[in-house]
Amino acid sequence: MKIHALVLGFGVASSAYTSLLDFNKVETSVLGSPFDKKKINSCKKTRKEKGFNLKYSKKIQFFNSEELNKVDLGTVNFIIVGTNTKGIDWAINILNKIKIDCPVLLITKGIANLKSNLVPISDYFFTKCFNHKIIMSAGPCLAKELMNKSHTRTLFASRNISYASYAKIILENKYYHPEVTRDIQGAEICAAIKNIYATIIGSAIGQVGDLVKKKQDNFFNPSSGLFEQSLKEMKLITQRFGGDVTTVYGLAGAGDLYVSVLGGRNAKLGSFLGKGFLYKSIIKKQMKGITVEGAEVVKSSGKKILSLVGDKKLPLLKCLVNAINGNKKLIIDWKQFTI
């Protein structure tokens, strides 16, 4: 069957998956959100993304959000949603407008507020969108490495595993290796909250203790201790949202947390917090204009997660909520860790 993919939103992750579709010779239409106009217009002219050293073939067509009528919607049979969390409602409105009943892969990760309750993004889609053929992508996938065709393993989760398998057939190739699961709740919660814990582990250089003279040479023990406690807290949160705890120890949990600590924006924020900088100062200076998903989840959902699970069970999250929401120094109490 010939595949025509529609990509909604054109952020960094969408660029990576568009390059993947291009490598697989899949006809693809990219519809930028209202915030992607400059990037879309540039790609229309040059078929290149200079910042990522990407060059697209003629199988990839680019459209601005107001050019939806120019897309050959009658042949679309696979959709990828790659906006940031702020663009979710825009993507849902597009899906409800075009009413194409095909599998939809969400590469957007996060937790949403629905009727005063915290829900995974997929549940938000199930409630707001006519299309229920939802697949969630989770797991260790740095966009830059995917663009550079580094071997990458991810997890496709869906309530109906046949939809996840459909996405796998389209996207799998010699360097991209997705697995499938029915545990969409667990995969999605892990995908969202690992950003929180990557921030905490990234702060390890500032958590080595007052007795250490050369902190930059002595932070691997603290980092490991924070990693272990992070997995414990992720397990408790995943359980509370109805996910399978074994998912926490797989690609969507431990795997994704590991890669985020090594090379993500969340860990970078953590490094500044660990050095004693305050959150509001960091986003105005060192990380100005950079969206840090873990911080967004903390601001929108941190307190609610603490109330749902219990702040005594989540000492790391409690410390980060105080640091980000309260704009205070990140101070971790090692005596409060759970056994």
Between the alpha carbon of residue 151 and those of residues 39, 144, 177, 191, 317, the distances in Å are 27, 12, 8, 19, 32
The closest alpha carbon to 107, from 133, 78, 83, 132, belongs to 83
Where in the sequence of the chain do the CATH 1.10.1040.10 domains occur?
A: 186-336
**DSSP β-ladder status, 104-106 and 176-181:** unpaired
Q: What pLDDT, on the 0 to 100 scale, is given for residue 217?
A: 67
Where in the sequence of the chain do the CATH 3.40.50.720 domains occur?
A: 4-182
Q: Outline where 80-219 has alpha helix (H).
A: 88-98, 121-128, 143-147, 161-171, 184-202
Which of the four CATH numbers 3.10.330.10, 3.40.50.720, 3.30.70.100, 1.10.1040.10 does domain 186-336 have? 1.10.1040.10
Do 18 and 28 meet the contact criterion of CB atoms below 8 Å apart? yes
Percent of the chain residues topping a pLDDT of 90: 76
The confidence band for 53, taking pLDDT boundaries of 50, 70 and 90, is: confident
At 189, the amino acid letter reads I
Mutual orientation of helices 315-325 and 220-240 as an angle, nearest 10°? 100
The confidence band for 338, taking pLDDT boundaries of 50, 70 and 90, is: low
Mean pLDDT, all residues of the chain: 92
* Alpha carbon distance 69, 322 (integer Å): 47
Query: What residues pair up with 31 in beta bridges, in sequence order?
Result: 8, 63
Which tokens in the block code for residue 244?
A: 């399978």
Do 302 and 277 meet the contact criterion of CB atoms below 8 Å apart? no
Coil, helix or strand for 21?
helix
> What's the pTM value of the predicted model, to 2 decimals?
0.89
For the domain made up of 4-182, give the CATH fold.
Answer: Rossmann fold (3.40.50)
